[in-house]
Each structure stands twice: as C-alpha cells, then as structure tokens.
C-alpha cells in the first residue's frame, strides 16, 4: 500500500492572493496566441488563456483584463481574431504583450480580414470569431466567441510557442 504524503509537510501553504495565482500559473505551460479586434484603430494583445470550448458550434474562449488598453475596443467588438503562434514568433508575442507599443507598426505584418478584423500574416492558424458573451470574472472578462472563418498555414511553422516561468519558449520532447 502506498502512503500519500501529508500536503502540509510536502508543500508550503499560502493564502489566496494575486501573487499566489501568478506564481502557480508560472508553473503551467500555456500556448500563446494574439487576439485582435478593430476599433478606431486596430487593437490586440498576447493571450495565454485561449481555449477551445465547443466543436459544435465551434467556439473558443479567452480572458482579457478590463484595465488593459485593448479592453475598450474589445468590449464593443462584434468580431475578434485569434492567432495561434509558432515557436519562431517570440518577438511578435512580445510586441503584443508590451504596454504602450504600436503593435501594428512594422515589423508586424497584417491585413484587414473578414468582418474588418486585423489578421496577422505568417501565423500557423488564425480564426475570426463572433463574440457571443462577455462574462464578468473578477478584474477580467471571459470572452466566448463562435468561430466563423479561419485560415491554416500549409506549413505550420514548427512547434508551438508556449509561455512558462515568465518566458516565451519552444516546446521540446
């Protein structure tokens, strides 16, 4: 019979806090995507919270902070773009994560896609989605969006880009 160790002796306990949540999720590898929307000017941000929600109908979700510079345009957006990034796109991810950056200036390559959504060039996959719900979740909103059209790169660009321990990384066996 295997005896399970007492969690109190094998792990330090910490009260719930933003710091605990951030520290715990630094230990969780997550795929990296860029979410875009149109507004008075295009907006976008790097997201590690993109999730496939449903196959029928095809739906995704992601979280967005209500204090982010992208939030006002996203709050009004009928359609959004979700772009899956490859390992070689660390700088693109960093650009869309950087506060105050002109994210759509060169060297970012993009065009206006279906429903006016900014679509990034050279990504392994992109989806244009219709926003169906904005669910309050603390200082964020959980966006539920139905996929209406998308594109897949014929050559997907290698392994996916992941975020782990506060850094963009490649996926290794």
pLDDT tens-place string over residues 70-97: 999 999 999 999 999 999 999 999 999 9
Q: Closest Cα to residue 152, out of 119, 104, 118, 130?
A: 119
| Confidence band of 10 (pLDDT split at 50, 70, 90) | low
Whether the CA torsion 70, 73, 76, 79 is positive or negative: it is negative
Q: Closest Cα to residue 79, out of 118, 105, 109, 31?
A: 118
Average pLDDT over residues 142-147: 96
pLDDT number for residue 136: 96
Helical (H) or strand (E) element with 74: helix 71-76
Q: Closest Cα to residue 46, out of 97, 7, 106?
A: 97
Q: Give the residues across from 131 on adjacent strands.
A: 145
d(CA 40, CA 136): 24
Query: For residues 63 and 69, is the Cβ–Cβ distance under 8 A?
Result: no
């Amino acid at each position: 019979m295997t005896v399970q160790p007492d969690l109190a002796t094998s792990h330090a306990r910490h009260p719930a806090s933003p710091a605990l949540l951030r520290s715990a999720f630094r230990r969780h590898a997550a795929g990296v995507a860029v979410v875009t929307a149109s507004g008075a000017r295009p907006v976008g941000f790097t997201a590690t919270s993109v999730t496939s929600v449903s196959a029928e109908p095809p739906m995704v979700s992601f979280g967005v902070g209500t204090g982010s510079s992208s939030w006002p345009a996203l709050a009004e957006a009928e359609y959004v773009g979700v772009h899956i990034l490859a390992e070689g796109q660390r700088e693109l991810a960093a650009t869309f994560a950087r506060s105050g950056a002109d994210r759509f200036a060169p060297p970012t390559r993009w065009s206006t896609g279906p429903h006016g959504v900014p679509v990034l060039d050279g990504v392994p996959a992109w989806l244009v989605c219709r926003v169906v719900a904005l669910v309050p979740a603390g200082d964020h909103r959980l966006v539920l969006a139905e996929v209406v059209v998308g594109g897949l790169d014929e050559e997907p660009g290698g392994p996916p880009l992941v975020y782990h321990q506060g850094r963009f990384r490649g996926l290794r066996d």
